[in-house]
A and B are shown apart, each in its own frame.
Chain A
């Protein structure tokens, strides 16, 4: 499942995407995130899944644009800490940050 956490508004698409089929719930992303955006727990979108899964904390979903901004998703020199931490490549961001801040 591609879980898109965040929102879309007039200024762009602000989503952190977790590919739950690739995620094994190891928790490395949660530990690496400096802003405490991520957590690992039961899959809220698939009650039959037994393995825990990474997700964006509920209270972060409406402000993800600002929470993730300091990591410069998609336009910084380095990938974001969560993306570096995830060995299975289950995390990525939508283009909002890159389009709005990337060319400055």
Chain B
């Protein structure tokens, strides 16, 4: 029997549908599809409430990934894509979302989504995506008032972390916890550029440096890169993070320590969502923001419903 190839970068995919909502009673159904370079999320909202979502890996083909994402979000519900009034595409692959009527940048969507998820107190949003990271300041309505992105290289991104996980042979969700299993915090590796970091990590492994120390050193370096961008933007409280890297405590805790600001607790601002145990997922915030924009544009009469059934 052939040996199974372990893919250490592979994070768990998910989908969820809200058991408390009968969508047929709803008036406006909107969706947001966020096709990132690494992951794709689809969110469906009924009258502005979270109805269903999915989070999957982006395949080699963006339109396929978008369609797959939406159909997984609809799984187990009686809703079909034809029941959706308006769909907005966002993310890196937003122009390749076949069912979207419109596209909006992920910066606008993350600010809007964070406002819904974390509440109107959010002023700074750090989106740590697959391919780039974006520092955003927004007002109490979730409108962007300042933004800055770092899209030069994969340092400080989800893809960088995946490459690292594969290189060191540790599953990506274990990186955070293991980065704290060190006797003392090692010096951060000097380069977070994926290409250079790779050779630096290989060198450290060859020297027999403990794995957890290398993990800690890499997390610290990634946190530092993000801090540089944040300092340029200026962090104002409350501070929230979105995107996949937000789940990596090894990076988040070190980042908080370096800027001496805590990130908002990863719980819903809406207490009902918490008491009903709706899953909290930082990766869906961009798609959620897109679905919220769809709702707002329909309500303001700026766009027309494209619902087919």
Contact = CB atoms under 8 A, between A and B. Distances in A.
B39 to A, nearest CB: 22
A47 B104 contact: yes
B151 A61 contact: yes
A13 B105 CA distance: 23
Interface string A60-74: 011000000000000
20 contacts: A1-B143, A1-B146, A2-B145, A2-B146, A2-B147, A4-B146, A4-B149, A8-B148, A9-B152, A44-B105, A44-B108, A45-B147, A46-B108, A46-B143, A46-B144, A47-B108, A47-B293, A48-B296, A48-B302, A62-B151
Nearest to A15: B148
Contacts of A4: 146-149, 233
Interface of A: 1-4, 7-9, 13, 15, 44-48, 61-62
A9 B228 CA distance: 9
Which interface class (under 10, 10 to 19, 20 to 34, 35 or more) fits B?
20 to 34
Nearest to B135: A4
A44 B88 CA distance: 13
Nearest to A7: B152
B104 A7 contact: no
Contact of A45 (B105, B296, B297, B300): B105
B197 interface: no
Nearest to B152: A7
A44 B149 CA distance: 14
Contacts of A13: 232
Interface string B142-182: 01111111111000000000000000000000000000000
Contact of B107 (A9, A15, A45, A62): A45
**Majority secondary structure, B binding face:** mixed
Contacts of A61: 151
Contacts of B149: 4, 7
Given A45-B108, A47-B108, A47-B293, A1 B151 contact: no
Interface in B201-251: 228-229, 232-233
B228 A8 contact: yes
Contacts of B150: 7-8
Given A44-B108, A47-B108, A62-B152, A8 B144 contact: no
A1 B139 CA distance: 10
A16 B302 CA distance: 31
A55 to B, nearest CB: 11
B148 A1 contact: no
Contacts of B293: 47
Contact of B151 (A3, A7, A15): A7
A50 B270 CA distance: 31
Of all A-B residue pairs in the complex, the 9 with the closest CB atoms, nearest first, are A4-B148, A2-B146, A7-B152, A44-B105, A45-B108, A45-B144, A47-B104, A1-B145, A1-B144
